[in-house]
Amino acid sequence: MANLFETYLQRIESDLQSGKATEHTYRSSLEWLLESLASGVDASNDPKHIECGAPDFIVERRRVPLGYVETKDVGVDLDKVEKSDQLKRYRQSLNNLILTDYLEFRWYVNGQRKLTACLASIGKHKKLTPDPEGIATAEQLFNEFYQTEIPIVGTPRDLAERMAQLAKLIRDLTFNALQAEEEISGALHKQYKAFQEYLLPNLKPGEFADIYAQTMAYGLFAARVSALTPAASPAGRGDGGEGFSRSSAYQHLSANRFLRKLFLDVGEELENTLIAPFLDDIASLLARADLSAILKDFGKRTRTEDPVVHFYETFLAAYDPKLRESRGVYYTPEPAVQFIVNSVDSLLRDRFDRPLGLAAKDVNLLDPATGTSTFLYFAVRVIHETLMSKRQGGAWQEYVHQNLLPRLFGFELLVAPYVIAHLKLGLLLRDLNYIWGKEDRLRIYLTNALDEGVTRSETLGDLGWYISQEASEAAQVKKNAPIMVIVGNPPYSGHSANKGKWIGELVRDYYSVDGRPLGERNPKWLQDDYVKFIRFAQWRIEQTGQGIVAFITNHGYLDNPTFRGMRQHLLKSFDELYVLDLHGNSKKKERAPDGGPDENIFDIQQGVAIILAIKLPPQHLARIQKRDGLAIARHAQLWGARARKYAFLERNDVRSLKWRNARPVKPAYLLSPQAGRIRAEYEPGWKLTEIMPVHSAGIVTARDDLTIGWTEKEILSRVQDFVSLPPEMARMKFDLGEDVRDWKVALAQADIRKHGVHKSKLARFLYRPFDIRHTYYTGQTRGFMCMPRAEVMQHMLSGENIGLIATRQTRDAWGALATEHVCGHKSCAAYDINSFFPLYLYPNGDYPATLFDHENGRRPNLSDKFIADCSQKLGLTFAADGTGDLKKTFGPEDVFHYAYAIFHSPVYRERYAEFLKIDFPRLPLTSDKKLFAKLAAKGAELVGLHLLKSPALDNFITSYSVAGSNAVEKVKHEKRKVWINDSQYFGGVPEAVWEFRVGGYQVCDKWLKDRKGRTLSNDDIAHYQRVVVALKETMRLMAEIDKAIPRWPIE
C-alpha cells in the first residue's frame, strides 16, 4: 500500500510543478488512489453534481455508498474549511467523510474527526517530501474508512435525527439541481412540474425540494416498516432489514401507487443523479436499524399522538424546527378524536338505524384533511371493537377486504402526512391481524379536497399520470360516493392558499343572511380554510341527502358577526347541531368561570370547538320540531386546564353531555345560548354603525417607531432623514425589517416626496388612551402609513370635530373613548381592532348635500332614520350643528353626549356584556326628555375630561414633591404612590384610579411604561396628574349615570 501512496505523490508533484494546476487537476490522481486502495471500489466524480452542492467524490462498492470525499486545493487551510457551513452540513449529514487538500487527509465519522494523516510537505520548487509516519497513518485511515459501516440505531430519536440530516442534504441538492440546467435534473424537473400541475399551483422550487426530501426519506421509512416480516411485528422474530435497499423500496409500497412510482423514478430515471447515493445512505441506515425496538411501543397510547407520528415530529424537529409552525399543521389530541369518533358511532346507531354504528357496511366515511389519519385510525379501532364484541373475529379478514377498505376515504395535500397516514393505518391493520392482499389499497388520496371533483386525463410524465390518477379517483369520491360521515380537523388559515373558483362559489352562500348581503367591509374571515372545509362537508352531505359532519375547528364562527350568514346556512341545511365549545382562546384572554386559567387542548392561541351537524334521514324528521326551518341547536362548553379537558373528552360522548338549547334567531343566528329576555330588550336599540354610517378601523401604520413621534420637531426631523437616504440604508438605520405587501420602504419614501416635508402634514395622533403623539400624515394608502383611513380621518383634519372609538368584538372589558384627533387601530383596546366614528363630515365632493348641512360646510354623521326616530321619541326638533336647548331642539353633540353617557354606564356594560363582545354596541333611546338631558349633561362632562379640556383637571389630587432626574426607570404602585424610579413618585394616586382601565389598557400604568427610558418634562408631569383627575372624575360620573337611570331597559 505504501507504494501506492508513493506513486500518488509523484503524480501530485508532477501536476503541482507544472504551474497550471488547479484543485480539479488533482482529482484524477485521487480517483486512482481511492480505487486502488481497496478492491471493488468505485470513486465517482461528477462536476455537474458538485455544482449542485454534492461532495466531490462518492466512494461505492457494488453501487452501495461507503463514504464521501471533499477536496480542496493543495495548501488550503483545512482548519478554516472545517469551520465552513459546507463542511458543517456534510459532517452533520454524512456518516463517513474525508476532507483533503490532496496531501492532508482528515477522516470524520458521525461528524467527529477520528484521524488525520499528512502524506508529505511542500518544499522549494514545489518539491514534495514524503512523511513515512504520515503515510503509515494514512494506510490506517483508509483501511478504517473502507470498513466503516453505517451504525445500528435502536432508538426512534437517533434514527429520526440521522434521517433528518441526510434529508436536509437531499433537500439542498434537489433545490440546487432545479436551479441548474434541464439536462442535469430533467427527471426532477418533471416531478416538480407534476406537483405544480396537479397539487400545488404556486409551488416554488425550494418548497418542492423540501417536499421531495421529506417524501423520499419518510417513504423509505414506510417501505422499511412494510418490509418487516409478520414475525417482526410486536410479537416478533426477524427484522426484514436484510436486503433492504433504495432500489428495492418500491416492492414494499404496493398499496400506494404514487410512492411506488416515485421510487421507481429514482431507480430508473434518477439512477445517475446526485441524490441517489444519499437515498442509498438512508436505505442502508434503515436496513441496519433495529425497527422492532423502534416500533415496540406502537399501540401503547398517549394523549397526543402514536409513536409513528412522534417519530415524524422528532424527524421534523431535527430537519426544520420552524416547518410545523409555518405550515399551520397541528395534530389533533387523541381525546378530542375519541370524543368525535365515539359520538359519530352513537349517532349512527340512534339517528340513522345503523345498530353497528361505524361498522355498518353502508356507512362511507371521509376525512377531507386527513393529515396522519388519526380520525380514520380511531374509526378502524372502534369498528374492530364492535365486531369483536359481536364475536365476529373470524370474519375480520374478509370484512376488511370487502367492507372496510372500500368505504374509508381520506384526502391530504401535504405529502409527508400522506405517507405517514398509509404507514400508520397499515401498521394498525397489521396489528389487528389483517393480512394485506396484493390488490388491497387504502383510499387515502394525495389531493386537494377543496378543488372541484373533476376527473383529469392530461398527463405530465409518468409521475404526473399517477398524481392525476390520485386526483381523478378522489374526484369520483367527491362527486359520486354516497359519503355519510365526514370527520376531521381542517386547517386554520386566515390567509388561505385555497382560492379555487369552485369552493369560492360555494362559500359565497355564507356572504348573505336573510336574503341580503352581509354588508361587511372586510369579510376576509369567511375565506379561512376551516370555513371552506365546513362548506365542502355541508355540500357533500347535501348531495348524499343524509349524514353527519363532525369537525373540530376554530370556534370564531359561533358568535362572530361576520359568520352570521354561515350560521344561518348551516341551520337551514342540517336538522340538528351539537356544539361543544372547548374555549382556550388566549387571544381573547379567556378565563374559566371560576376565574382560573383556561387552556387550549392544542398548542395554539385560537379557541376551538367541536361541531356535530346532523342531516337526518327522511323517516326520522318527525322526531324533531324545527322552528322557522332552522335546525335544533344545542350547546355545551368546557373550561379549565388542558388535562381536565382531555379527561372529560375521553370519558364522554354526545350522549352523556348536558346540552343547552341555543335557540338561534335572526339577525345573528348565534350558536351559543344568549339570555333571551336581555337580548329582546337589547336588540331593538340602534346599532352604532346604523347611527353613524361613516366609519372605519383606526389607522394602521405598519411601522409605529418610524411614523409616530413624541413631538412635532422629532417627527419632522425623522421624516426628513428617512426620505433623504437610499432605501436600504433607511431600512437599516430605522430598523424597518423586510417589506410586506402593504408597506414598503420605497413606497413610503415616494409618498413623502410626492407630498413634501411640510409642517402642514403634521397631525396630532391619539396613540393610546390619554397618550397624544404626533405623526406625518398624507392620507395615501400604502405610503408612509400602511392604511391611513383617509376616507374617515380627513374629517378630523378639516376642522373642529370629535369622534368615538369603539370595538366590534371585544376580548377585554368593553370600553369606548372620545377623541378630537386621528387615532390608531389600537388606541382604545389593546387586543381588538378599534373602529372610529367621526361626529361631523366635512365637504370633499364625495357626499351629496342633505337637509342637515350647516352653514360652516359640515354636516352630522348621523343617519336620517336615526334622527327621525330620536326626534319622534323626544318630541324635539333636530338642529344640524352643535347642541340644542333640549326644550325644543337637540343637536348632534347632544346625541353624542347621550350615547357617551350610556356607553359609560356600568350597568349597561355588565347587563349587555355578552352582546358587546360580539358586535358594535347598540344604543337604547329614551322618550324621557329630562332623562335625555340629564344623561347628555353627564356625557358632556365625560367628553370634556377625556379630551383633557375640563377646568376640573387643573385641581390636582396628587403631588410630585421630590426633585431628581425625572427618568422613568421602574414603574410600580405602592401605598398610593406611583414610583417612576428609586427616588421619585407621584403621591396620592388612589388604588382604584391606578387600576382603572379604558378598553384593554390600565391607563396610569401604560402611560408611564411607554415612556420607560425617557425623561419626563414639566408638561409630562402635569399631564399625568391631569389624567389622574380625569380618571377619578370618570369613576364618579359613571356612578352618577347609573343613579340617573331609574330602570332597565331604558324607557
Query: Tens digits of per-residue pLDDT, 263-320?
Result: 666 555 544 466 777 888 888 888 878 777 776 654 443 344 466 777 777 787 778 7
Residue 74 has pLDDT above 80, yes or no: yes
Task: Please tell me whether residues 257 and 143 are part of one structural domain.
Answer: no
HEC-encoded secondary structure of 867-927: HHHHHHHHCCEECCCCCCCCCCEECHHHHHHHHHHHHCCHHHHHHCHHHHCCCCCEECCCC
Peptide bond into 769 cis (omega under 30): no
Q: Do 143 and 211 belong together in one domain?
A: no
Considering the chain, what percentage of its residues have pLDDT values greater than 70?
Answer: 89
Q: How far is CA 1033 from the centre of its chain?
A: 44
**Residue 381 located in a structural domain:** no
Segments forming the whole domain that contains residue 68: 2-147
pLDDT over 50 (residue 238): no
Of 673, 706, 732, the residue at which a domain comes to its end is 673
The answer to whether residue 520 scores a pLDDT higher than 90 is: no
Do 164 and 268 fall within a single domain? yes
CATH number assigned to the domain comprising residue 631:
3.40.50
Does residue 364 fall inside a structural domain? no
Q: What is the C-alpha to C-alpha distance for residues 884 and 891, in angstroms, rounded to an integer?
A: 5
Interatomic CA distance for residues 157 and 163, integer angstroms: 10
How many domains in the chain? 4
* Res. 252: pLDDT tops 80: no
Position 200 scores a pLDDT of 74
DSSP 150: P
User: Model confidence at 46, in pLDDT bands (50, 70, 90)?
Assistant: low
Choose among 417, 418, 483, 466: nearest CA to 445: 418
DSSP assignment of 754-820? HH-S-GGGEEEEEEETTEEEEEE----TTSSSSB--HHHHHHHHSSS--EEEEESS-SSS---EEES
At 50 the pLDDT is 59
pLDDT at 497: 59
More confident residue, 922 or 450: 922
Angle between the 132-147 and 2-17 helix axes, to the nearest 10 degrees? 110
230-239, 822-831, 895-904, 943-952 — which is least confidently predicted? 230-239
Q: How far apart are CA 295 and CA 310, in angstroms?
A: 11
Which of 202-216, 515-529, 676-690, 776-790 comes out lowest in average pLDDT?
Answer: 515-529
- For 516, the 3-state DSSP assignment is strand
Q: Looking at the predicted structure, is the pLDDT value of residue 772 above 80? A: yes
Q: Please report, rounded to a whole number, the percentage of residues in the chain having pLDDT higher than 90.
A: 58
Same domain, 643 and 584: yes
Whole-number pLDDT of residue 829: 82
CA–CA gap between residue 953 and residue 970 (Å, rounded): 26
Taking Cα atoms as reference points, which of 228, 235, 213, 237 lies closest to residue 287? 228
pLDDT value at 607 more than 60: yes
In which residue are the cell numbers 405587501 written? 741
Model confidence at 1018: pLDDT above 80: yes
Q: Is the pLDDT of residue 229 over 70?
A: no
66-70, 416-420, 777-781, range with greatest mean pLDDT: 777-781
**Can you list the positions of beta strands (E) in 123-169?**
128-130
* 23-37, 234-248, 464-478: range with highest mean pLDDT: 23-37
Beta bridge partners, 609, equal 553, 581
pLDDT of 905 reads 96
pLDDT of amino acid 764: 97
Instruction: Give 354's contacts (C-beta < 8 A, 6+ positions apart).
Output: 348, 360, 362, 363
CA distance 832 to 812: 8
**Please, what is the Cα angle at 795 between 790 and 798, to 5 degrees?**
110
* Contact in structure between 320 and 209 (CB atoms under 8 Å): no
Q: Tell me, yes or no, whether 176 and 97 share the same domain.
A: no
Domain presence at residue 64: yes
Q: Which residues neighbour 741 within 8 Å (Cβ) at sequence distance 6 or greater?
A: none
In terms of domains, do 128 and 169 share one? no
Is 611 or 413 the better-scoring residue by pLDDT? 611
The pLDDT of 996-1013, averaged and rounded, is 94
Residues 105 and 165 in one domain: no
Contact assessment for residue 548 and residue 511, using Cβ atoms and an 8 Å cutoff? no
Residue 517 has pLDDT above 50, yes or no: yes
Predicted confidence (pLDDT) at residue 446 exceeds the cutoff of 90? no
pLDDT at 560: 85
Q: How confident is the model at residue 1007 (pLDDT cuts 50, 70, 90)?
A: very high
Query: What's the burial of 623, exposed, middle or buried (CB within 10 Å: 0-12/13-18/19+)?
Result: exposed
Phi, psi (rounded to 5 degrees) for 599? -105, 150
- pLDDT at position 299, please? 40
Q: Does residue 550 sit in the same domain as residue 601?
A: yes
In a domain, 564, yes or no: yes
User: Of all helices (H) and strands (E), which one includes residue 524?
Assistant: none
Q: Is position 205 within any domain?
A: yes
Can you give the pLDDT at residue 805? 96
Using an 8 Å Cβ cutoff, are 171 and 212 in contact?
yes
Burial class for 441, CB neighbours closer than 10 Å (0-12, 13-18, 19+): middle
Specify the pLDDT at position 420: 85
pLDDT, tens digit, 9 for 90 and up, residues 646-701: 999 999 999 999 999 998 988 889 898 876 678 889 989 999 999 999 999 999 99
- Give the residue-averaged pLDDT of 65-93: 91
- For the stretch 715-731, pLDDT in tens is 999 999 999 999 999 99
Residue 896 lies in a domain: no
Q: Give 144-174 pLDDT, tens digit per residue.
A: 999 887 777 767 778 888 888 888 888 888 8
Q: Is the pTM of this model over 0.75?
A: no
Helices (H), 654-734: 676-682, 688-691, 704-707, 712-724, 727-733
Greater pLDDT, 246 or 924: 924
540/640 same-domain check: yes
Tally of residues, the chain: 1051
Strand partners, 890: 878
Find the CATH number of the domain harbouring 131. 3.90.1570
Give the pLDDT confidence of 828-861 residue by residue, as tens digits: 887 778 999 999 999 874 444 555 555 567 999 9
- Domain shared by 726 and 850, yes or no: yes
Which range is least confidently modeled, 133-137, 265-269, 689-693, 902-906? 265-269
Query: Are 18 and 113 in a shared domain?
Result: yes
3-state helix, strand, coil in the chain (%, to 5): 45, 15, 40
Give the pLDDT of residue 148: 83
SS3 at position 31: helix
Give 991's strand partners. none
pLDDT of 298 reads 46
Strand pairing partners for 840?
Answer: 860
Write down the pLDDT at residue 615. Answer: 97
Helix (H, G, I), strand (E, B) or coil at 488: strand
Q: Do 583 and 719 belong together in one domain? A: no
Do 743 and 787 contact (CB within 8 A), yes or no? no
Q: Rg for the chain (alpha carbons), in Å? A: 36
Annotate 180-197 with DSSP letters as a single string.
S-TTTSHHHHHHHHHHHH
Asked whether the predicted pLDDT for residue 231 surpasses 60, the reply is: no
What pLDDT is recorded for position 182? 53
C-alpha span between 240 and 221 (Å, rounded): 13
Q: Give the model's pLDDT for residue 965.
A: 97
Whose CA is closest to 580, among 604, 550, 537, 602? 550
Residue 184 domain-assigned? yes
Question: Which of 295, 311, 326 is the last residue in one of the domains?
Answer: 326
The answer to whether residue 52 sits within a structural domain is yes
Mean pLDDT rounded to a whole number for the chain: 87
**The domain boundary residue, chosen from 85, 112, 147:** 147
